Amino acid sequence: MQHIKNCTEYVIEQRMDEMQKRFNFCNCEICREDVACYVLNRLPPKYYRSDNGKIYSIVQSISHQYETDILMLFSQAAEIIKNNPRH
């Protein structure tokens, strides 16, 4: 099972910098990871086999599909992290 990855993790990782600036939550590692956990726990995982070199197109299509959910979840996570920072 070592080639099976959750593509949603890549999508969130790729969007993290943009979302941090957009929603202005703390940029420290703890807060970024708390935000990532919040979002990832609420998005359905998308598993794929990582050995076919198609990761980029998969990430793009999933990112597009999740766009509204990603924005909403990052927004919610930012509020929670701002109100209850754990750093």
Contacts to Zn ion by CB under 5 A: 26, 28, 31, 87
Q: Which residues contact 23 (CB under 8 A, 6 or more apart)?
A: 74, 75, 77, 78
How far is 76 from 38, CA to CA, in rounded Å?
9
* Nearer CB in complex with Zn ion: 26/43: 26
In the complex, least distance from residue 87 CB atom to Zn ion, rounded to whole angstroms? 3
In the complex, least distance from residue 84 CB atom to Zn ion, rounded to whole angstroms? 11
For residues 37, 39, 40 and 41, what is the CA-based torsion angle, rounded to 10 degrees? 80
How far is 54 from 17, CA to CA, in rounded Å?
23
In the complex, least distance from residue 66 CB atom to Zn ion, rounded to whole angstroms? 25
* Nearer CB in complex with Zn ion: 32/46: 32
* Nearer CB in complex with Zn ion: 12/31: 31
